[in-house]
Amino acid sequence: MTARIATKQFHFGATTFTVTAMRRAFLEHVGLVRPYQFERTLVALTAVAAFLLVALTGLYLVTRNHLELNSPRGIYIFYMMALAVLAFALTRLPRCATILLSLAAVEFGFGVGSLALYKYHLISSTALAPRDTGRPLIRVEWHPLLQVVPAPTPANVSGAAIHINSEKRRGKERSAEQLRGKIVVALFGGSTTFDGKPDGQSWAERLQDVLGPKYEVINHGMGGYTTAEHVIQTAFYERTKGVSPTCSVYYVGWNDLRNAHIANLDPAYADLHLPFQVDSFRARRTDFGDSFSPLSIFAGRFLGLAFDTMRPAAVQGKTSSEPDPAFEAIFLRNVGAISAINRQRGIKTIWVGQLMNRQALTADAASSWVPFVKEKDMFALIQRLNGLVQRDAAALGDVYVGLPVERFDSGGFVDQGHFSPAGSRLFAALIAPSILENCR
């Protein structure tokens, strides 16, 4: 008896296809028709597994709000899926397909691997992972003194969430004529002062609303800046359109603390902090900040490390919950230098104590941002820095503003120290009386 293979026929015009023919073609494609070619089978299975792994990774990132489909990271996911599909299509050419799968493996390892390592605090940043937003909040430029500064928003870009003016500061354009006759208040600080919320919601703009039209609030804040950068800003970049501020307000502490317990700490924070700024903001000329390919990001970073004069951060230290006298001496020296520059120029200096979210500082491990202080110990050390600034401000004749952190416990923060919209409004309202009293 001869066995028959059941078939179904499908007719499309003059062409007839059978299920058996399609099945045989598929099996032949993956090497499961005699003479068997299991190298094809292995390639096909690997391509299918790679596709599923990438798809599940993308789904996980979407559910964790770490992926926007129109961002470089979204394109990265589709790019790796396309590599897997193309590898499956080239199963008849196993060597070509293997090259594509190897490329996908490298891209996956660099991109997703860096996200995983960052999540578990094994690396300091997601440097090789493509950006997860469609458009960066701001673009940055390398600066020979400050290392990174905001790049002005291009004139042809509309709808930017955060506007950077021609003086490379957050805020609207102002002319010298607009500033003359006004009480100019200059704000200095890190990302908590720059404020990542859209225009109209930052605490600097809230403060402007509270102070009224007699005042002009200028935001000099920039992500990561410490008192080392503020000394430079105060000495060289304090003016706006040639107009000096009446008062300069400094909200400092958190970013400086990252330098605690570094062995042989450089007096200008040049061993960890300043090199880290360049790489954290991808400010090297060889950095491909908008690339969807981790391999190209790695190649650019490798070229930068190989040929750029700015060397990457390489420090040693010991984790401790105790104060660091060497760091504190540098921090207070910077405070004194800033105060002296302003005093010589007749500018009032106001210091605002750093506020931190105690509810978010519970981990028994150090973060990548403050590498030698456990998160659970940060609040106490920040409070100590605030006390030192308050003491020195009194001796220097400056104003110190200490705010009750308890007022911010219910929804005032979005993380360890950045304000929520409600927190920004509250912060501006609380410091406004001191500015009205001292900036006249």
Q: Where are the domains of the chain?
A: 140-272+315-438
Neighbouring CB atoms inside 10 A of 239's CB total: 16
Lowest-pLDDT choice from 21-25, 163-167, 381-385: 21-25
User: From CA 139, how far away is CA 161, in angstroms rounded?
Assistant: 12
pLDDT digits (tens, 9 = 90+) for 350-395: 999 999 999 999 999 998 899 999 999 999 999 999 999 999 999 9
User: pLDDT tens for residues 59-78?
Assistant: 999 998 888 888 889 999 99
Q: What span, in angstroms and rounded, lies between the C-alpha atoms of 268 and 331?
A: 10
Instruction: Please give the Cα distance from 43 to 140 (Å, whole number).
Output: 43
Q: How confident is the model at residue 417 (pLDDT cuts 50, 70, 90)?
A: very high
Q: Choose the weakest-confidence range: 139-153, 285-299, 358-372.
A: 285-299
Which contiguous run of DSSP H or E holds residue 98? helix 94-119
Q: How confident is the model at residue 135 (pLDDT cuts 50, 70, 90)?
A: low
pLDDT band of residue 4 (cuts 50, 70, 90) is very low
Whether residue 231 is predicted with pLDDT greater than 90 in this model: the reply is yes
Element (H, E) at 10: strand 9-12
Average pLDDT of every residue of the chain: 90
Which residues lie closer than 8 Å to 433 by C-beta, 6 or more apart?
none
pLDDT (mean) for 33-48: 92
Least confident of 8-17, 147-156, 176-185, 192-201: 8-17
Two structure tokens written together for 405: 């952190």
Q: How confident is the model at residue 5 (pLDDT cuts 50, 70, 90)?
A: very low
Alpha helical stretches, state H, 353-402: 375-396
pLDDT tens digits for range 197-211: 999 999 999 999 999
- What is 140-272+315-438's CATH topology? Rossmann fold (3.40.50)
| Angstrom distance (rounded) from CA 208 to CA 293 | 42
